[in-house]
Structure 1
C-alpha cells in the first residue's frame, strides 16, 4: 500500500471514531492525522524527484561511456593512443634520468641567502640564476681559482696563545712587525722563516 493511501486510511479511521475535536485529546489526534497526510505527500514528491535524478544519472553515465569509447578507440595504424602516451612518458622519464644523474652543487645566493642548485653547465658559463630573487651571480668551483691564489699574497693562520682565537695574516703584515690578536689585543710572538 502506498504511503498516501496509508495516511488516508488512518484519517478515515480517526474520522470513523467520532472523536470530538473540541477536546484537547481530540485536537491532538486530528492534528496528528492531518500532519501524517501532509508528510506522506511530501515524501512521495521527494521519492519522485529522486527517481528522476537516478534516471538522469544513468543517462549521463551512458553518455560518458560513449565519450570514453570515442576518445580511446584505436588509431588507423592499429596502435592505441594509450600506447603513444606510454612512449612519450618513457622519453620524458629518460630525460628526467639524465637530469637526475647530472651533478649539482649547493650555493648560497649572495643577494637573498637562499640555497641555489648549480649545474655543470652553470659552472661552465661562470654564472647562475637564483630562482628565489631572480639575481644572476658569478659561480666557480673552489679549485678554479688556484692559479689566482698563487699570484696573490701568502697568508698564515695564527692562533693566539692567550685567548685561542685563530686569525689570518698576510706575510707582509707579519714581516712588518708584531701583529696583535684582533680579539684580545695581546701581541703575537712568532718567526717567519723563509724556505
Structure 2
C-alpha cells in the first residue's frame, strides 16, 4: 500500500465518522491534518519517481563512462605493457645461477654485479639475446 493509498484510507475513515469540519474544532483539525498528509504523500511519491529516474540516468552515464575509459585507457595499458616488456630483461648469474632482472641502463653499461654472490660479469648482446659471460673466464 502506497502512502497516498494510506492517506486516502484515513480520509475515508474520517468521512465515515461524519465529523463537522466547519463548526467542530476537532473536525477542522482532522481535516487539515489529512490535507497535509495528502500533500506530503504526493511529494514523497514524486521524490521516489525522480530518484528512480535519476538512478536510471546514472546507470546509463556510468556505462557510457566505462566505454570511454576502456577506449582511453586501453591505449595506455598497451603502452605500459610494451614499456614493461622493453625495459627489463632476465638473465641468469653464471656463478650462482640466480635469476637477475636487469633494466636498460644496466644493459647499456654492459656489466652488472650479482646481488646474491657479488660476481661481476658482462652481458653479451649477440644474436639479439642477452647472455651472461663470466668475467673471470675471459
Instruction: Give the TM-score normalised by structure 2.
Output: 0.55
The C-alpha deviation readout for 1:24-82, integer Å capped at 9, x for no partner, is: 1111011001111111011101110111111111111101111111112258xxx7133
Q: Is the 8 A contact 1:72 1:81 kept in 2?
A: no
Higher relative contact order (CA 8 A, sep 6+): 2
Looking at secondary structure, tell me which structure has more helix per residue. Answer: 2
Distance of aligned partners of 1:4 and 1:86 in 2 relative to their CA distance in 1, 3 Å threshold: farther
Distance of aligned partners of 1:61 and 1:85 in 2 relative to their CA distance in 1, 3 Å threshold: farther
1:178-193 correspondence to structure 2 within 5 Å: none
> Aligned Cα RMSD in Å?
2.4
Q: Give unpaired runs (5+ residues) of structure 1.
A: 88-93, 95-195
Instruction: Give the TM-score normalised by structure 1.
Output: 0.39
Distance of aligned partners of 1:17 and 1:86 in 2 relative to their CA distance in 1, 3 Å threshold: farther
Is residue 80 from structure 1 mapped to residue 71 from structure 2 by the alignment?
Answer: no
Is residue 36 from structure 1 mapped to residue 34 from structure 2 by the alignment?
Answer: no
Determine the structure 1 residue equivalent to 2:16.
16
Distance of aligned partners of 1:85 and 1:51 in 2 relative to their CA distance in 1, 3 Å threshold: farther
Q: Give unpaired runs (5+ residues) of structure 2.
A: 86-104, 106-138
